[in-house]
Structure 1
Amino acid sequence: MQEIINGLNGIVWCTALVFLFLAAGLFFSIATRFPQLRHLKDIRSLIFEKGDSKSEVSAFQGLTMTLASRVGIGNIAGVAAAIAYGGPGALFWMWVMAFFGAATSFVETTLAQVYKEKDMGELRGGPPFYIEKGLKLRWLAVLYAAVTVIAQGILLPPLQANTVTAGIENAFGIQPSITGGILVLVLAAIIFGGVTRIAKFAEIIVPFMAIGYIVVCFIVLGANVSEIPQMFVLIIRSALGMDATYGAMIGYAISWGIQRGLYSNAAGVGSEIFGAAAVEVSHPAKQGLVQSFAVYVDTLIVCSATGFMILITGMYDIIPNGTTPLITNLGDVEPGAVYTQRAIESVLPGFGSPFIAIAVLFFAFTTIVAYYYSAETCLAYILGEKKKIWMRNILGLLVLGAVYYGSVNTAEIGWGLGDLGIGSMGWINIIVILFLSKKAFKLLKDYEIQKKKGKNPVFDPVELGIADADYWEKEYKNIEQNNCIKNQEQ
């Protein structure tokens, strides 16, 4: 079974998929004239913009919800693997992927906002919605939703939980069954509270965990401050094949850097934008720009922090694509979180193991919460609104059971199944948004025109000729009515 899954993953996660994502990001960046750079000033204010309703998800909560899904154990173990198998230059190509991926995230998030719906008082949206309404392919939308439910609702949570309990046991000696039980209880309190409680949880935890991780990175860099220039030189030279040691690894650096960058921020996979679709904004492009910044936070900040700590302390081995070792600073150590752990231990003895265990706890736990929300949204899409209540309860119980199972058991085969699900989602979504991208381009232009006129951009789907944006047609009428009432009062 493992061989079959590995073979399928070799097909799904082939070089064509990796470079399709890179090419799509380049195309989106050029077609939109690099909004991920031009609108950085706007993004700062849009992140903290509040909606009119206290019951809806704010822009900042939407950002933290998607970061909860993006920032996970891949930001620690994934970066270590990229360096081990692709060399220091892999980190540079992760940056490249993040830069172009920010434009991809803008496109898919804007589309998710355009075609979102109101489901029992909560806003819902994502790839299934814009596949059905934008392309008129209900069967493809259901297929994508089903893959998401299986991958993020059943296969991936146990793996995140297993990483947490293993780290806690290693650092503090607490049995996995105890940690797993606590995880289930806290998780239950959050996921059965609905999207608003999930948003409030992410709003508090995500900034806390990200800032703590960055602070430790600065401590490690500060202790090795004289090595910082040499570290950047090593990254650039390795990435471009200019370093004598890594000259023959440029292909591995590009491949592993792009693939791990994609796996980390998932820009274009569609799995990270369900939370963004639930945000209350006056124009879809607003949340599209905010989510382009989320890619920066995930890869340019958190992943870079991991890479910098590993490289500046020399706590890594280089095993070109898993073949004969080229550099053995650590010896027989499997690439993963242990690289980061030892990097921190070299500066803060006795601190690395417990810190990484706690970091993984926060990273993985918030990711599980985000997985549940994505799976719940997709299941609600498949079954319909009337079956929402009992469906949420059953899915919640399945996720809780999967988390506890993963906490006390190893599930090596699950990694392959999870990769297969995410890769399948990626193939569907990236092709879909390429076909629908003109609508996102049109919305960006509309947003920019209104901004130049000094207006707060408001989306009118009828004026732009975008059909099936039912939520926005009603919302625009409400906004117009409110404006008329305000004008009459004045």
Structure 2
Amino acid sequence: MEMLSTISGWIWNPLAYVALGIGVLFTLLTKGVQFRRFPDMIRHLRSGGATEGGLSSLQTLALSLSSRIGVGSIAGVATAVAAGGPGALVWMVITALLGSTCAYAESVLAQVYKRREHGEDRGGMPYYIKYGLKAPWLATIVAVATLIGYGFVFPGVQANNIASSAELAFGVDGQVVGVLIAVVLGVVVLGGTRRIVKVVEAIVPFLAVGYILSALVIIGMNITKVPDAVVLIVSSATGKDQVFGGIVGYAVAWGVRRAVFASATGLGEGTFVAAAATTTHPGKQGIIQAFSIYIDILLICTASGLLLVVTGAYNVKDPAGGFLVEHVPGAVAGPNFMQEAIDSSLPGWGAVFVAIAVAMFAFTSMVFFFYVAQTNLVFLLGERRSKVLEAVVKAGAPAIAFIGSSVTADAMWAAGDIGYGILGWLNMACVLLLTPVVRKVIRDYDRQRREGLDPHFDPGPLGIKGAEYWETQKEPVKEPDRV
């Protein structure tokens, strides 16, 4: 455990600041696209629909949120507060506002370099590395790493949190929970991409709205404590609080780390679904992906964090050993904090509610993770098919779900952090190298909007090479009516 934590620290301590820096860079390069194009975010969601082989903007948003509104939005927030104090919440919000441009950039690249494979639109990190950077060897490495991470590691983090919250709420053994998750997940993944989309599209909006409303109800019941909670959060983030001022560096590092984990911005996770969208211009999908960061961090994570601080249901570790504060002795940082928070206002309800919410959020994340793993397998195989490898990937998700339900939470989180961190370094470096392409796309989008046009993408006049999907379109892609 000590070794895993050390490795995780080596990876994430510098990466947290790199992620913030990249967010600032793309905010300047795009002239704050995440702010000035906010009306377009809503407009693009209302137009366009799915086609044969492609998904609608609304479906891609649901798929993106299925991974982003996962345990990172509940358990991840709790671990950020436990390690960095309440001030970590401020840095999560700052990361979301700036980092959404990184989500924009990587999603634009996913659209530009996507391909039509096996009758479906596919794309993502390995595609823009191979066709944009012209580095097929690096694309293969990234695809293998992503396949292993999303197929055989990251689902275990989600399953672990389901098991932890279910054990506290219902007293069910983790291995029993693991078997149940494995069986249900196996049924879904065997149904293919369309079933995955239908499951996620139906569940995610209901989950997001229900969770936010529930958190707001608890916060409302403690409304008199909100001003003091806000002061504590801000003073802790700026190093002015007497108790938490000494760990402001941890607040920054863990706030950024958990914001990146929860939103997956910069990790390339959202690029796979971004590429599947049916749209007329990559800039449109980039804006929608940036919007998904707002929903996740500014709404879900902020509600979770404020709920914890208002109710005082959290502990904060002292880097020197022990705790700076220990409001809930014995509680494990993660969903257990949130269960204690709700129980403080609605006794007996918190454990059950959070267990159900975590189970649903985490399950949709695991479904999406399988989609990501499958896309990377398709990239590695190309036009070939391998029933053996496809079967291994399909079996991997249920298998790691069972294993993840049985190991310790610290070990599973550490393994997940290491995997995400490695992918983050690789993806952010590649996105930076492809910055000129991102600039060309945003300028083209802005030009067409200024001229009163509905933006349509043609890579030729922009000097963008390798965009085969768009080059083979004899007519501009037309967005069908929404279905």
TM-score exceeds 0.5: yes
Superposition map of 1:81-480 within 5 A: 81-321=79-319, 323-387=321-385, 390-408=388-406, 413-475=411-473, 477-479=474-476
Q: Which structure has more helix as a fraction of its residues?
A: 1
Aligned CA distance change for structure 1 residues 178 and 8 (closer, same or farther; 3 Å): closer
**Distance of 1:402 and 1:244 partners within structure 2:** 43
**Distance of 2:411 and 2:231 partners within structure 1:** 39
Aligned CA distance change for structure 1 residues 441 and 269 (closer, same or farther; 3 Å): same
Greater shift, 439-448 or 380-389, is seen at 380-389
1:166-223, Cα deviation, whole Å (9 max, x unpaired): 4224323445455434323332332223222222221111111111110111111110
1:12 partner letter: I
Pairwise CA RMSD of aligned residues? Answer: 2.0
1:237 partner letter: S
Aligned CA distance change for structure 1 residues 73 and 119 (closer, same or farther; 3 Å): same
1:366-404, Cα deviation, whole Å (9 max, x unpaired): 111111111111111112232155533331022222223
TM-score for both structures, normalised by structure 2: 0.94
Aligned CA distance change for structure 1 residues 141 and 201 (closer, same or farther; 3 Å): same
Contact preservation (8 Å) 1:18, 1:259: yes
Contact preservation (8 Å) 1:150, 1:421: no
1:258 partner letter: V
Contact preservation (8 Å) 1:56, 1:196: no
TM-score for both structures, normalised by structure 1: 0.93
**Distance of 1:77 and 1:444 partners within structure 2:** 35
Aligned to 1:53: 51
Q: What SS does structure 2 have at the residue aligned with 1:135?
A: coil
Q: What SS does structure 2 have at the residue aligned with 1:326?
A: strand
Superposition map of 1:3-14 within 5 A: 3-13=2-12
Q: What SS does structure 1 have at the residue aligned with 2:161?
A: helix
Contact preservation (8 Å) 2:62, 2:204: yes
Q: What SS does structure 2 have at the residue aligned with 1:386?
A: coil
**Distance of 1:179 and 1:330 partners within structure 2:** 25
What is the CA-CA distance between 1:55 and the residue it aligns to?
A: 5.0
Contact preservation (8 Å) 1:224, 1:312: yes
Contact preservation (8 Å) 1:310, 1:343: yes
1:352 partner letter: G
Contact preservation (8 Å) 2:55, 2:278: yes
Aligned CA distance change for structure 1 residues 260 and 322 (closer, same or farther; 3 Å): farther
Aligned to 2:25: 27
Aligned CA distance change for structure 1 residues 431 and 92 (closer, same or farther; 3 Å): same
Shift >6 Å, 4+ stretches = none
Percent identity of paired positions between Structure 1 and Structure 2: 39
2:68 counterpart (61, 67, 70): 70
What is the CA-CA distance between 1:335 and the residue it aligns to?
A: 2.1
What is the CA-CA distance between 1:95 and the residue it aligns to?
A: 0.5
**Distance of 1:19 and 1:410 partners within structure 2:** 29
1:122-146, Cα deviation, whole Å (9 max, x unpaired): 1111010000111111111111111
**Distance of 2:166 and 2:49 partners within structure 1:** 39
Q: What SS does structure 2 have at the residue aligned with 1:242?
A: coil
2:141 partner letter: L
1:414-467, Cα deviation, whole Å (9 max, x unpaired): 443332221111111101101101211211111111122222111001121111
**Distance of 1:411 and 1:250 partners within structure 2:** 25
What is the CA-CA distance between 1:322 and the residue it aligns to?
A: 6.5
1:59 partner letter: S
What is the CA-CA distance between 1:158 and the residue it aligns to?
A: 2.5
